[in-house]
Amino acid sequence: MNNHIKISTLLLFIFFGLLSCNVKNETIENAEVPLDQMIGQMIMAGFRGITIDDVDKKFIDQIEKGYIGSIVLFDYDVINKEYVRNISSPSQVKMLIKSLQSHARTPLLMAVDQEGGKVNRLKEKYGFPKSVSAKYLGTLDNIDTTKFYAEINATTLHDLGFNVNFAPSVDVDINSENPVIGKVERSYSSDPKIVIKHASEWIKAHNEKGILSTLKHFPGHGSSDADSHLGVTDITKYWSKDELLPFHEISSKYEVAIMTAHVINNNLDSFPATLSKKIIKGILRDEWNFNGIVFSDDLHMKAVNAMFDFDTIIKKSVLAGADILVFGNNLEHDEMIPTKIVEAMTRMVQNGEISESRIKESFDRIMEAKKRLGLISNIK
């Protein structure tokens, strides 16, 4: 009899213990995420370092604090003018990404510009597979060839640990002498239908491998005659509405992100697209009902950096509707830029310049994308 009582007591103890655990877990899952952590998820930064031991400790500390939600890797250091940055071999990249993820509270979006052709961070000379340009694929116009190279690219990224590719460029090749698009073969075609056909094939292959593709550069950079890395880029006289077609059609059919361009298009707004509420919120969100992630182009680029101060760039980008602010740290270099962004945005929320609900909107969108990519199941 006493044994029965002891067993029953033990079972009750286990039951209430499990119940207590479940309540605790529920509380954790539903807990309010601090403002600085939500802002941190909106920050993508670059850094210097081939191995985790090479990375500045201040940068690692910011990952651990949750002030960095996404990271972008480069092979070339623009400031130092040398091919010593983050990429030297497949095994090295895989280990670097794994090491970076080990320091993150919430798994990181790990991104790279891997379009193929000229924009190709994973080069053959480092031991990666051969790639070809978008123009090569569009001119050949053979869907099987595009699928072949897309699958190789997607498999490579997946095996290395990347989950975001800043590709494909769906800019329409309106100006073949464009120094950053047409002239360097980054556009599939001057025909939007060919752009849509081949970009879609590229995206399908990457989606199958759990890689989030990013359409760029919204609302179209193919007609420009200047490089937005170097200064103000006004496309008002050259832009065509046809440049919107690939973004609209593809984003309505596939799970993709979109990257904005720093171009000024007075047909749409007087501000660069990245800082334009009329362009991001007005067209993408309100007209098209696009609910994927919007990445800014690199906010160190002179097209915005030479026109506006740091706080204005941050504020206008967020209010326009950008979800992730990209600072590649490769045109300028500041390891503490994530902390500076968190501090600036926190101050703006406290001053009423940006609402906390606006931050939460992007945070939720980013968390949803991370869930779809299999990076998280519950918010930490």
Question: Is residue 76 within 8 Å of 85, Cβ to Cβ?
Answer: yes
Beta-carbon contacts of 277 under 8 Å, excluding residues fewer than 6 positions away, are: 269, 319, 320, 321
What is the 8-class DSSP label of residue 354? Answer: S
Q: Where are the beta strands (DSSP E) in the chain?
A: 43-45, 70-73, 109-112, 114-116, 119-120, 164-165, 212-218, 233-234, 257-260, 263-264, 294-295, 325-327
Beta-carbon contacts of 225 under 8 Å, excluding residues fewer than 6 positions away, are: 175, 177, 178, 179, 235, 238
- The Cα–Cα gap between 268 and 275 comes to 12
Tokens matching residue 34: 């601090």
CA distances from 360 to 32, 256, 291 (A): 11, 20, 14
Would you name the residues annotated as active-site residues? 229, 297
Neighbours of 309 (CB within 10 A): 9
